[in-house]
Structure 1
Amino acid sequence: MKKNSSPLIVHTDWSRAWGGQEIRTLTELREMNARGCRTGLIVPEDSELAHRGRQEGIPVYPVDFSSKFNPASWLALFRTIRRIRPTVLNTHSSEDSWMAGCAARLCRVPLVVRTRHVLAPISSALSYNAFPQVIFACSEAIRDQLVEQGVAARKVVVQSTGVDEQRFRFSERDRQDIRRRYHIGDQDILVGNVAFLRHYKGHSFIIKTAAAMPGNYKFMIVGGGRDQPMLEEQIRAAGVEDRFVITGHQEQPEVFFSAFDILFFSSYEAEGIAQSFIQGLLYGMPLLVCRTPSILEPLNHVHTYELIDYNDLDAACRGLHALSTRRGRDQRRIDRQRQAIAGKYGLRTMMETIVRTYGEHGVAVG
């Protein structure tokens, strides 16, 4: 396929932040580039996606999606879509899905797609039913919620964000390096969490749990965000600053998973299937998991875990004590778990689903 005749895959997003949603967008575009497609981003000029997209050579077309009632944004959007003529336009957040979804249909873009990342009630099914031909839901629970709220079931394709299983694998060298860097002893039990610091990630619950556990339990949150100063103050107030660290944002989270003994997934609302959760499952470590509908789905493939309710401190402590006795690495069991997780939630599986779905709607990707 000649480059100038290859499909042009364009993603839009209102978001200016950097998190799992934006990582998925950039990952899809990177993978489509590798398959010979042209790609582009229609995003705010000051967004992280704009910055990182340009770094990877992805064309960026700035549009301010801050309000559906901004005529200048609508004008810029129509001009951009008519000029670049995308084959596929994939929207992500509420504002850009209304605006870009509508503009794409009026400009007769061959395939309009929306990705729904979060498990939260929608305000209206109108934009879902009127604009996209395909809706990618990041979990079964998200699909079910959309359908219950009036979104046409025939449009919804379930595909969680794919994780690169080659990148996320246990390394004894990484384990030793990270534990040495943060002064974690061989006899310490390191309870870890990897996430952007947002309220629904439940990190305050981890801090409360740390304060109730014995001193040989150390805690680490790998991630950054605006909530970091608030969480660090909670750590000081709880008196656990000597055994609790927040690393700040890390571009290579894979090296930290190897250092953990137990993964504590504390999110309590709005999650699809978080990328960091799937990444953690590839390491085969014991899991302490707060019940949320989307997160229950991958646990069918997991051997060692304890389920608790968010903010149930007694259950969290009991769970950590129980999991601490089950930390041995059974490589055969871990290999089986990795194979099952990669088969359903791996990057290759995600791209195969997307390419197949495009093809079903007349867009061939080489």
Structure 2
Amino acid sequence: MKALHIITGLGVGGAEQQLRLLLRHLPVDCDVVTLTNPGAVADGLADDGVRVVDLAMNGNRDLAALPRLTKLIHGGRYDLVHTHLYRACVYGRIAARLAGVKAVVATEHSLGDSQMEGRRLSAGVRALYLASERLGRSTVAVSPTVADRLRRWGVPGPRIEVVPNGIDVDRFRFDPVLRERTRRRLGLPADAYVVGGVGRLAPGKRFDVLIRALAQLPPDHWLLLVGGGTEESVLRRTAQRAGVADRVLFTGERPTGGLPGADLPSLTAAMDVLASPSAEEAFGLAVVEAMAAGLPVLYVSCPAVEDLPAGAAPGARRVQGGADSFVRALRAVRGAGPGPRSVPDAAHHYSITRSAAQLMDVYAAAVSCTPLGVSSS
């Protein structure tokens, strides 16, 4: 099978890094097209031996990109096209059908109750999404929560398949030597209690809540924010006004892979707890990665945990409220003392090998035009 993955951009983000990790585990010959922004993940894919093409699209209404994409798909003689993120799903589904490819799968990575990829869910966004969705074989939801949202939007249930995001569990396994090395590199005091936040520095992630909480905690508490985005300058000003600028570290974007001591697994090793104040998540990848690192986790919204049976993630606790609620929760976690940094069942449940195997079932059904669970014989 030969497949083409189409994604809106390839900067460092959850969907983008998930695509790179997935391609390492799919037994399929895959190429990748990015509509725009061939960033760090594009470089990583090239290092992995994946062919990456930048379509150089100029904005959402660059209709000239459609014939270019159609020609590329037709010339590649692909058996299946897999699209990721809103703009790529709209253009990719149309181009695939124009190129004669009927096996089209899309993954919905970022659908919330009121927003998608940071954009408000207007009637126009929904209408365009639903119109293009009908051109594909199936839409993959990264969690049962997202599947429910898709059904409420109007996507027919039989067209929805749940394939959760996956992680490389071994990559995040706790290493005490790496922890000390990374903390020294970051300039953290030996007795620092490090609260971590991982994700795009965007308003919806609500990292300002953690900064305000830090201002109410003892001076040996630090905040390590891993990610880049438009809100960094706002968050820096918030930290200055709160009087904690000297205890908030901004690392910028960090890939899952990379140099030890500088990549995401190294930074999670340096943390003592992961806090996720985002009120609307489609999956909660940062929470799952933190659990794989053996960290206690405090979250406001995390379908990856909430969709599991009770007790599957004993180190994860839901927090309802703002800064004051996080202050109380962080005090309780620290008061309980450090745990063993072991990997819970929940992290193993989201192994990337398991997710890749599930996705291959979706691919086989799309290519054979057979619904999942129905024999083609």
For 2:142 and 2:167, the matched residues in 1 are separated by: 13
CA contact (8 A) 1:66 1:95 kept: no
Match of 1:148 among 152, 160, 163: 152
Percentage of matched positions with identical amino acids: 23
- The aligned runs of 1:1-366 (5 Å cut-off) are 7-15=1-9, 17-32=11-26, 35=27, 37-44=28-35, 46-48=37-39, 50-66=42-58, 69-120=61-112, 121=121, 123-124=126-127, 126-127=130-131, 129-251=133-255, 252-269=263-280, 271-291=281-301, 293=303, 296-297=306-307, 300=310, 301-310=312-321, 312-330=322-340, 334-335=342-343, 337=344, 339-342=345-348, 344-362=349-367
For 1:14 and 1:296, the matched residues in 2 are separated by: 28
- The one-letter code matched in structure 1 to 2:238 is Q
Shift in CA distance, 167/236, structure 1 to aligned 2, threshold 3 Å: same
- Structure 1 residue runs of 5 or longer lacking an equivalent are 1-6
Q: Deviations over 1:188-244 (max 9, x none)?
A: 321112223222221111111111111122211122233222222221121112222
- The one-letter code matched in structure 2 to 1:345 is Y
Shift in CA distance, 119/95, structure 1 to aligned 2, threshold 3 Å: closer
Indicate the larger mover: 201-210 or 49-58: 49-58
For 2:63 and 2:195, the matched residues in 1 are separated by: 50
**SS of residue matched to 2:172:** coil
CA contact (8 A) 2:147 2:160 kept: yes
For 1:317 and 1:146, the matched residues in 2 are separated by: 35
Shift in CA distance, 54/283, structure 1 to aligned 2, threshold 3 Å: closer
**SS of residue matched to 2:270:** coil
Q: Deviations over 1:30-77 (max 9, x none)?
A: 333xx2x32112223642254443343322333244456544212212
Give the aligned partner of residue 3 of structure 1.
none
- The one-letter code matched in structure 2 to 1:290 is V
For 1:61 and 1:134, the matched residues in 2 are separated by: 24
- Structure 2 residue runs of 5 or longer lacking an equivalent are 113-120, 256-262, 369-377
Instruction: Give the C-alpha shift of residue 93 in structure 1.
Output: 2.3
Give the aligned partner of residue 117 of structure 2.
none
Instruction: Give the C-alpha shift of residue 147 in structure 1.
Output: 0.5
Instruction: Give the C-alpha shift of residue 350 in structure 1.
Output: 0.7
Q: Deviations over 1:300-353 (max 9, x none)?
A: 42113432235x22211111111112233246xx34x1x4421x2111111010
- The one-letter code matched in structure 2 to 1:296 is E
CA contact (8 A) 1:165 1:282 kept: yes
For 2:81 and 2:57, the matched residues in 1 are separated by: 15
For 2:288 and 2:92, the matched residues in 1 are separated by: 30
CA contact (8 A) 2:107 2:140 kept: yes
- The one-letter code matched in structure 2 to 1:146 is L
For 2:249 and 2:274, the matched residues in 1 are separated by: 15
For 1:318 and 1:139, the matched residues in 2 are separated by: 29
The TM-score normalised by the length of structure 1 is 0.87
Instruction: Give the C-alpha shift of residue 78 in structure 1.
Output: 1.8
**SS of residue matched to 1:167:** helix
The TM-score normalised by the length of structure 2 is 0.84
